[in-house]
């Protein structure tokens, strides 16, 4: 669903402006399989649009962004195979694709002027640059950050506004359906992680002070908040906003709890290992998977994803 919207959006953008050289950025690209696979799908989508419209395929300039600690080398190491695959699928042809890394926080300026046509960011915005509470802790409290941070703090977007360039931006991330910031959706998964850590504290496997000093700034906005913030900030029009419940069918033979634990572990492990030490990670996520299953048996947990497409006002 999200991918479909992403590809449709970049195709529409391309057909509107038809640049010879298309600049794309991925904010929070990470270093796994997704980092390059979404780029390949964008290239495929643009090529399809070009063939349908009998237009030449543009060259692609790909700006990969993540925090400086991200393993950009892993992406670069995967690049030769990526290029081989692109060429293989096109009988040794294919458009030039130039990939570069822009390490840094997307809450600061990242790119040179006028180099981007499309900004993409998937599942990265829920990490806030700051919280308005001194200590948030792992449990998601009733905090009031951060769609402002989404739109206002994103100079990668804002700078473009000043320069009167028009980069549409597509963000997808965790959201929520209702007005309550603490619900039985995404925030509940954080609540369960907090409870799992508390269990390890009660068993003496984690020091209480360590838990007290572990802060994660997380926020899942509602559709109203997204709309309000985009309206208040004023530079963008919201072309599209969709909220949908994440499919419960995780296709896992190990069960829902384990599948959720594996996903959350993939996201949280580096931070947890860094703060608590690697030794607790297996126990923690085993405990976590069990808790998820226990809670699901009591009542459904309904995580929500949003997709928003923004376009600069003319």
Ligand X SMILES: C[S@@+](CC[C@H](N)C(=O)[O-])C[C@H]1O[C@@H](n2cnc3c(N)ncnc32)[C@H](O)[C@@H]1O
Q: Which positions touch ligand X (CB under 6 A)?
A: 28-30, 34, 65-67, 70, 105-107, 122-124, 127, 129, 267
* H/E run at residue 241: strand 236-245
Closer to ligand X at the Cβ: 79 or 271? 271
Closer to ligand X at the Cβ: 110 or 310? 110
Residue 229 Cβ vs ligand X, minimum distance, rounded to whole Å: 18
Residue 150 Cβ vs ligand X, minimum distance, rounded to whole Å: 11
The residue of the chain with the least Cβ separation from ligand X equals 28
Residue with tokens 């060259």: 59
Residue 93 Cβ vs ligand X, minimum distance, rounded to whole Å: 29
The interaxial angle of helices 281-298 and 186-202, nearest 10 deg, is: 130
At 240, give phi and psi (nearest 5°): -160, 140
Contact 304, 172 (CB under 8 A): no
Closest CA relative to residue 15, chosen from 47, 37, 44:
47
**What's the CA gap between 309 and 207, in Å, rounded?**
43
Closer to ligand X at the Cβ: 187 or 206? 187
Q: Both tokens of residue 80?
A: 């030769």
Closer to ligand X at the Cβ: 66 or 191? 66
Closer to ligand X at the Cβ: 109 or 302? 109
For the chain, first and last CA: distance in Å? 29
Q: Both tokens of residue 4?
A: 């479909």
Residue 125 Cβ vs ligand X, minimum distance, rounded to whole Å: 8
Residue with tokens 């925030």: 187
Contact 230, 264 (CB under 8 A): no
Residue 72 Cβ vs ligand X, minimum distance, rounded to whole Å: 11
Closer to ligand X at the Cβ: 104 or 137? 104
Closer to ligand X at the Cβ: 29 or 216? 29
Residue 99 Cβ vs ligand X, minimum distance, rounded to whole Å: 15
CB environment 39-51: b (16+ within 10 A), e (fewer): beebbebbbebbe
Residue 31 Cβ vs ligand X, minimum distance, rounded to whole Å: 7
């Amino acid at each position: 669903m999200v991918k479909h919207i992403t590809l449709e959006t970049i195709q529409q953008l391309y057909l509107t402006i038809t640049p010879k050289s298309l600049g794309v950025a991925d904010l929070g690209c990470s270093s796994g399989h997704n980092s390059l696979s979404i780029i390949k799908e964008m290239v495929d989508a643009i090529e399809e649009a070009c063939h349908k419209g009998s237009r030449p395929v543009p060259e692609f300039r790909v700006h990969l962004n993540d925090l400086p600690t991200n393993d950009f080398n892993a992406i670069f190491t995967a690049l030769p195979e990526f290029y081989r695959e692109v060429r293989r699928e096109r009988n040794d042809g294919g458009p030039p694709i130039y990939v570069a890394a822009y390490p840094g926080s997307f809450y600061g300026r990242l790119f040179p002027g006028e180099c981007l046509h499309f900004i993409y960011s998937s599942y990265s915005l829920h990490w806030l640059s700051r919280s308005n509470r001194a200590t948030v802790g792992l449990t998601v409290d009733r905090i009031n950050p951060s769609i402002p941070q989404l739109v206002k703090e994103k100079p990668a977007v804002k700078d473009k506004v000043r320069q009167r360039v028009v980069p549409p931006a597509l963000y997808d991330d965790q959201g929520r359906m209702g007005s309550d910031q603490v619900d039985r959706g995404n925030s509940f998964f954080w609540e369960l992680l907090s409870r799992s850590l508390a269990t390890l504290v009660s068993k003496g496997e984690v020091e209480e002070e360590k838990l007290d000093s572990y802060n994660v700034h997380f926020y899942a906005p509602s559709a109203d908040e997204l709309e309000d913030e985009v309206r208040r900030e004023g530079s963008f029009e919201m072309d599209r906003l969709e909220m949908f419940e994440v499919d419960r069918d995780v296709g896992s033979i190990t069960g829902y709890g384990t599948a959720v634990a594996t996903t959350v572990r993939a996201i949280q492990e580096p931070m947890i290992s860094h703060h608590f030490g690697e030794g607790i990670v297996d126990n923690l996520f085993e405990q976590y998977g069990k808790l998820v299953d226990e809670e699901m048996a009591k009542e459904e947990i309904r995580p929500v994803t949003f997709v928003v497409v923004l376009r600069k006002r003319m």
